[in-house]
Amino acid sequence: MGVTGTEVAKEAAEIILLDDNFASIVKGISWGRAVGDSVKKFLQFQLTVNVTAMVLTFVSAVASGTEESVLNAVQLLWINLIMDTFAALALATDPPSPSVLDRKPERKSAPLVTLGMAKMIVGQALLQLVITFVLNFRGRQLLGYADTEGDVKRLKTLVFNTFVWLQICNELNNRRLDNKLNIFEGIWRNYFFLVINLLMIGGQVLIIFFGGEAFKVTRLDGREWTLSAGLGALSLPWGALIRLVPDVWIGACLPPFLRRRWAPETIDEEAGATTHKDEDDFRPPLRTYTFVRGQRVSTSYGGRGFRGYVREQKQRVLGKAQAARSSATEVLLPAGQAVSGRR
């Protein structure tokens, strides 16, 4: 207790209630989880934009005859402003929802990028790359553009506009980290998110209409605006489809070293217990002994020293495990003869 508690109790405690109200613990846990979720939301959004922009810029520059990327430097600066500043303010200001206390606490060794986040990052990046590649390499044939300088500039503007709309709509997907479909939960309580998204949309409209030579863009008509916004909105149903894929299925397809970190629940409990049983049986002494020199410490291990003691204990445990495995693989015949199961 911060008010009625003694100084000794305050020094020994890990949590001090400044208002002597136990409801503050619930509020503190809710905001603590909200802060952790905000970091993960921003990281998920930023990794998606980074992967897509990097691959799109590199591939379009390599495939171009003039070695020019479909996104120029000034456009990338605007995308970077969306990705770093606006997205951080929008996604980091979400208040905790009532459902934030329904989930179990995360373990200390839990990775920062979870399996669900990786699933969303890869899925959204693939969708954005497919849309932008189709527009960049087949947009002239699909939309009926001529091979003139004006139509080439219009096509690049369309790709840039579509890419930005994909990020704006994907920001809504990143408001949730779990597999629930309601991405609009609590959105009206976060005024920062609403205002910042309106600023991004307004800034993009101003760039297309008045950017001109500074951004190397040209004005788009109503059909092209509808196409850009419609393709960008595809990330919303695509995100719902990604969430419908169970994380257990994805984790079962991963190699073992990734499954132990991202999806430990998919590992067979008996196999995991057998794998770590030998390690759990051995408990070496305190690490402090490795830095101590002297006759007393040396004689406490029978004159072998710490390293010799550890080596001997490991060999003893491994010998017991080998004997247990050998006895478990033997099959007894009706006549009483033991035949090894390994052939």
Q: What is the pLDDT of residues 23-57, one digit of tens each?
A: 777 888 888 888 888 889 989 999 999 999 999 99
Predicted confidence at residue 276, as pLDDT, reads 47
* Residue 107 pLDDT class (50, 70, 90 cuts): confident
Between the CA of residue 123 and those of 29, 45, 116, 146, what are the distances in Å? 31, 12, 11, 33
Written as six digits, the tokens of 203 are 């800034």
The number of angstroms, rounded, from the C-alpha of 339 to the middle of its chain's C-alpha atoms is 51
Architecture of domain 9-262: Up-down Bundle (1.20)
DSSP 96: P
The domain ranges of the chain are: 9-262, 268-340
- Residue 313 pLDDT more than 50? yes
CA distance 224 to 232: 12
Instruction: Tell me if residue 292 falls in helix, strand or coil.
Output: coil
The 3-class secondary structure across 191-245, one letter per residue, is HHHHHHHHHHHHHHHHHHHHCHHHHCCCCCCHHHHHHHHHHHHCHHHHHHHHHHC
Pairing state between β 330-332 and 338-340: antiparallel
Determine the average pLDDT of the residues in 122-145. 92
Written as one string, the DSSP assignment of 1-25 is -TTTS-HHHHHH-S---TTS-THHH
The H-assigned helical ranges of 65-190 are 73-81, 87-91, 115-143, 149-173
Q: What is the pLDDT of residues 58-104, one digit of tens each?
A: 999 998 878 888 898 899 999 988 878 888 888 888 888 878 888 88
165, 52 Cβ separation under 8 angstroms: no
Orientation angle between helical segments 23-63 and 115-143, nearest 10 degrees: 40
Determine the average pLDDT of the residues in 308-324. 76
CA distance 28 to 65: 57
10, 16 Cβ separation under 8 angstroms: yes
Q: What is the pLDDT of residues 261-307, one digit of tens each?
A: 777 766 654 444 444 444 445 455 555 544 455 555 555 555 555 66
Count CB atoms within 10 A of the CB of residue 264. Answer: 14
Instruction: Residue 106: name the closest of 114, 98, 118, 95 by CA.
Output: 114
Answering whether pTM is above 0.85, one says no
Between the CA of residue 157 and those of 160, 163, 231, 282, 314, what are the distances in Å? 5, 10, 14, 65, 66
